[in-house]
Structure 1
């Protein structure tokens, strides 16, 4: 990532597989294939040991309840079904290498972090839930790798504390992702202007972790300055699990990536230059000053003697006031363009 994405105009697109593999290695591999086919730069999973992540009686979030099976009574029950083993992660990493797509994972505990260290991931993606986990952020910063930090549920003060914690140890390797932790996020809760706020306040690369169901919003985020886009995806929204309904299916993921790449192309230059077709069209579409009637040499030009119309063959309309009241050097016929050669 890592750092090469900062040297490119290309947005770094992370396909967030998350736990949408439902604990199945075969499904996770198919998700890698789909992310690669869509043109994403990386595919990301969630690495955790349930016992280290959550207490056994932790209640389900509302969005988790809506998708939970009847035998799931707590976050612990839910996450235990979605947990992947170290061996499975190693297989997924190998499959990513085979498919030439970057493997990423969010570590949620020390054991999972050590696994990612052994895999030698080039970047640590930190979830919004760990934004205020300053001891953990210190631990990550000491590894001197890129940190991509989601800021969902965070106040500006909490984001500031997280940034200062990381930058007290390592600078120039932090990217902040604007995020709304709501599944799915309604359009009026997206707040893309926060990208500008984060960039101005913290002077680091920014991106957007999107939980809306839109294929357009991520492209809009790129137009607003996002250098990284993270988007949940699934092979099938009807599958059981907490995140499937707030995720894009492969066809929509393809569309999202295409939208982003189109916006990148359309962003273009910050200087005004005419392309070849504009120069050609200019002569046809712009207007100039033409004689309204046959006029003789010595005639004093009046406004009624001049018409402004296409094409752009003679004097530009901005010169109208300069020629009014001036005598003609020579005869000019009706519909003939005025030039300085006609004016004394």
Structure 2
């Protein structure tokens, strides 16, 4: 179970795929957005992810009180927030091009089926469905018809909602679907992250599972990688103090580098699902394991009794696990006191 996305491997035996989320941190400035591409590439990340929407594709102008948002988001209504945060459509092509020049896989979150042709023209290799859109069946069907892989975030979701979304995507002919465990809180507190849900999701649906992170710092992504996340997605910025809805919970370049280095080391530490004596352990096994050593001189022809030996370090003789082969055996050769009793010393 693995994928290759424009040369980027994604799978349980691969290094965790790192997805740098630009989100609204472009601040409506193409030069700043292009600078973010360099930050992601220089930090050692694998992918650059955009968000393709505008205020009208997500909501509408309305004076209904349900449209009001918390003051911490910086704008009074959903429409105002998305009008402020959206990325201009003309930014997409230069950002896709710059990402590929820097060795990153560019892709985007799609929010409206009407944007599908535009994104297809960019040569988008994989589609992201945000947690907030996973119940928008029309969008899922449209994306599914491309036959391309889908990365589906599952913030706020129940298991039944995940199952329904997968059914819609599968029936539409979607490519492989990777599920991202997520807590849709900004920022998300550690006590609500529940990374162990990744295993539950993977077992229930038989899909690869990663983590979409909204915590502060590097611990969440690194913990997710350590327990097998195939991908980690995280918002990033060059300045978390700047005005904007997403900067305050986004990773700085230093945190990005820390995550990338940590993920490399974790991949090495995780190794493979095998258990054997490693090359570096051979020496330790030789001097650190116990074996039979003679407590006094034992002549050839002697029948070995328990009082004739002790199991001590190093592992130069018969091991404790085969004591039965030793007790009652006749020696074919003499063994001096303090020397190991070996299999070749026995008359077998």
The equivalent position to 2:36 in structure 1, one of 12, 31, 35, is 31
- Where 2:108 maps in the other structure, the secondary structure is strand
The equivalent position to 1:125 in structure 2, one of 123, 128, 134, is 128
- Where 1:148 maps in the other structure, the secondary structure is strand
CA–CA distance in structure 1, aligned partners of residues 103 and 316 of structure 2? 56
1:305 and 2:335 matched? no
1:113-155 Cα offsets, whole Å, 9 max, x none, are: 3431221211111110111111111111122222211111111
CA–CA distance in structure 1, aligned partners of residues 330 and 121 of structure 2? 88
Trace 1:246-265 onto structure 2 (pairs within 5 A). Answer: 246-265=249-268
Trace 1:70-89 onto structure 2 (pairs within 5 A). Answer: 72-89=75-92
CA–CA distance in structure 2, aligned partners of residues 2 and 129 of structure 1? 24
- What stretches of structure 2 of length at least 5 have no aligned partner? none
Contact 2:15 2:263 in 1 (8 A): no
Q: TM-score, normalised by structure 2?
A: 0.88
- Where 1:18 maps in the other structure, the secondary structure is coil
Structure 1 residue aligned with 2:183: 180
The equivalent position to 1:59 in structure 2, one of 43, 68, 75, is 68
CA–CA distance in structure 2, aligned partners of residues 88 and 328 of structure 1? 84
Contact 1:67 1:240 in 2 (8 A): no
Structure 2 residue aligned with 1:244: 247
CA–CA distance in structure 2, aligned partners of residues 269 and 258 of structure 1? 19
Q: TM-score, normalised by structure 1?
A: 0.89
Q: CA deviation at 1:296?
A: 4.7
- What stretches of structure 1 of length at least 5 have no aligned partner? none
Alignment length, in residue pairs? 338
| Aligned Cα root-mean-square deviation (Å) | 2.4
Structure 1 residue aligned with 2:93: 90
Structure 2 residue aligned with 1:146: 149
CA–CA distance in structure 1, aligned partners of residues 41 and 88 of structure 2? 23
Q: CA deviation at 1:320?
A: 2.9
- Where 1:181 maps in the other structure, the secondary structure is coil
CA–CA distance in structure 2, aligned partners of residues 314 and 335 of structure 1? 11
Trace 1:1-344 onto structure 2 (pairs within 5 A). Answer: 2=5, 5-6=9-10, 9-56=14-61, 57=63, 58-60=67-69, 62=70, 65-68=71-74, 72-296=75-299, 301-326=304-329, 328=331, 331-343=334-346
CA change 1:290–1:94 in 2 (3 A) is same
CA–CA distance in structure 1, aligned partners of residues 45 and 28 of structure 2? 22
CA change 1:139–1:110 in 2 (3 A) is closer
